[in-house]
Chains A and B, each alone.
Chain A
């Protein structure tokens, strides 16, 4: 059995940053594995550990720089990786959902896995759509915002019994047929830290680069319908009263507020 995990290297923005044009200046960006994808990788690795002969393949769309992040997935137990990149992708400011789905679908069609795990969303552009658009592009089943998966059902019965985390502490119990794409919610498992051995082994695992050509796609596929016309810091709507001073002064200011509100017994 084969499980594919889509992973993305995302940029986090430092507290102080500057925008130039419609981009955040790169010196203020720190790159890391997308939080949701960390859980997706763990879910795939746990499935591999529970089953016989389950291969885990990580797939990313990203520049060479992203290999460092992809190695983290390999160090945590993915067997190999595919990295999709192309000059034509590099030239696109913001890939739209359709493009990401089509690029990933080309890899999925090559690999033919029973299950694909994606993160619910990526921390940077937060479209929250790639996994489900991918499923529909492939014509397979899916479930969004999954916080529990019955491993035995997948391995023995070919069905994904999941819990979807709805709003307000309610979960939906749903079965979907395989093959399927599941978007994985944080908290579904406890992502492991990469062991030293894992990190060492990851160095020799394959990260296969794939261009549009390799995937049998032409450059039109990356034409984005999104054109960012402005990027700015949101105007603060704050009318908070700021309590200034050193920590002691701030603390006594807070204490006054609490006493005035009558929630502390003094």
Chain B
């Protein structure tokens, strides 16, 4: 028995969540009184394996196969390794690549799958804490029928530190090349263009609370009057109201301005991933329970259609009527 944590990497680097997985995995392994194994599949497996040898890790397994993520390789490799180790829990990141292989590993190996855990424990059985309905509620659930595959949310556990004394070995997963039906042809950076919101020291950021495309003019006026750069949450870009290079968050830009003024943004985890490093966060939202207030330094519970025009006037501008 063991807990097996599967690292995430891209273009030659382990992603940060890999080390968070080790912390979550060590805690869970302690609760289950068992060993923590880490695995890395593809890429610079030697280098990655050394990096994954952090305090608390008992064993690191390296599966050599190609340079980048391919879900067919991952599913085969992780299923084989989990079987070989008789792993009680396979831990994966709830990253975009995690979404692309973890459910398939669970299905192929007959394991129960739970995603996006923000808390883990093991008493009589596995206990997982996760959110539902956006971030409106948290639930704790008991998950019967192990073994399991569990994905964890990023930034919920601290990264594991310190050099460990793990045994490092390669694992021959005996990958069946004929069963690889996905071909990864390359990567492309998107969201370039006229402005880099990551350079701004003051961002005024607009979310779905703005309701209509016409109303964006109000936030543009605020940005102009205050000399701020305009950015947004994802739905504004999805709707085509602002260009992709304005999007803050997991799949957009990571920003660290002096001030981030969030207007009508709820503070979903994928958004927060892109802006939690701002020095000062100010949030305007009608919902006093909106998660954005959890990370805000200043909160304004109020209607943006009242507060924003007043703020424009405060700086001597004129609010467009929307």
Q: In this complex, what residue of A is CB-closest to B112?
A: A225
Q: In this complex, what residue of B is CB-closest to A263?
A: B202
Q: Is B170 located at the chain interface by the 8 A CB criterion?
A: no
Q: Are A233 and B289 in contact (CB under 8 A)?
A: yes
Given contacts A129-B115, A247-B306, contact A225 B252 (CB under 8 A): no
Complex: how many Å from CA A130 to CA B106?
A: 12
Q: Are A171 and B106 in contact (CB under 8 A)?
A: no
Hey, which chain B residues are within 8 Å of A227, CB to CB? 141-144
Q: In this complex, what residue of B is CB-closest to A16?
A: B289
Q: Are A241 and B299 in contact (CB under 8 A)?
A: yes
Q: Closest CB of chain A to B146's CB: distance in Å?
A: 9
Hey, which chain B residues are within 8 Å of A247, CB to CB? 302-303, 306-307, 309-310
Q: Mark B225-265, 1 if CB is under 8 A from A, else 0.
A: 01110000011011110001000001111100011010000
Hey, which chain A residues are within 8 Å of B307, CB to CB? 247, 250-251, 254
Q: In this complex, what residue of B is CB-closest to A130?
A: B103
Given contacts A11-B133, A129-B102, contact A229 B141 (CB under 8 A): yes
Q: Are B238 and A251 in contact (CB under 8 A)?
A: no
Given contacts A143-B100, A227-B144, A241-B297, contact A97 B138 (CB under 8 A): no
Give the total number of A-B pairs whose CB atoms are below 8 A apart: 273
Q: Mark B136-172, 1 if CB is under 8 A from A, else 0.
A: 1111111111000000000000000000000000000
Complex: how many Å from CA A250 to CA B191?
A: 34
Q: Is A175 located at the chain interface by the 8 A CB criterion?
A: yes
Given contacts A132-B104, A168-B251, A257-B280, contact A176 B182 (CB under 8 A): yes
Taking CB atoms and an 8 Å cut-off, the chain B residues in 255-306 that contact chain A are 258-259, 261, 279-280, 282-284, 286-289, 291, 293-303, 306
Hey, which chain B residues are within 8 Å of A258, CB to CB? 202, 226, 259, 261
Partner of B294, one of A145, A172, A236: A236
Q: Is A123 located at the chain interface by the 8 A CB criterion?
A: yes
Q: Are A133 and B202 in contact (CB under 8 A)?
A: no
Q: Is B26 located at the chain interface by the 8 A CB criterion?
A: no
Q: Mark A231-255, 1 if CB is under 8 A from B, else 0.
A: 1111011101111000110111111
Partner of B183, one of A129, A142, A174, A254: A174
Complex: how many Å from CA A242 to CA B185?
A: 50
Interface size for B (C-beta < 8 A) is 99
Hey, which chain A residues are within 8 Å of B301, CB to CB? 242
Complex: how many Å from CA A229 to CA B143?
A: 10
Hey, which chain B residues are within 8 Å of A262, CB to CB? 258
Q: Are B298 and A128 in contact (CB under 8 A)?
A: no
Q: Closest CB of chain B to A157's CB: distance in Å?
A: 13
Hey, which chain A residues are within 8 Å of B296, CB to CB? 238, 240
Q: Are B289 and A145 in contact (CB under 8 A)?
A: no
Taking CB atoms and an 8 Å cut-off, the chain A residues in 46-97 that contact chain B are 94, 96-97
Q: Closest CB of chain A to B266's CB: distance in Å?
A: 10
Given contacts A166-B96, A170-B189, contact A141 B303 (CB under 8 A): no
Q: Are A241 and B298 in contact (CB under 8 A)?
A: yes
Q: Are B103 and A174 in contact (CB under 8 A)?
A: no
Q: Are A237 and B132 in contact (CB under 8 A)?
A: no
Given contacts A175-B183, A247-B307, contact A169 B190 (CB under 8 A): yes
Hey, which chain A residues are within 8 Å of B199, CB to CB? none
Q: In this complex, what residue of B is CB-closest to A176?
A: B182
Question: Would you list 5 pairs from A and B whose C-beta atoms are within 8 A, ordered by A residue?
Answer: A173-B188, A227-B143, A240-B293, A254-B282, A258-B202
Could you list 4 further interchain pairs (A-B, Cβ under 8 angstroms) beyond the known A94-B141, A243-B300, A247-B310? Answer: A11-B133, A125-B132, A136-B103, A229-B142
Give me the 6 closest cross-chain CB pairs, A-B, nearest first: A251-B310, A187-B238, A247-B306, A263-B202, A129-B103, A144-B100
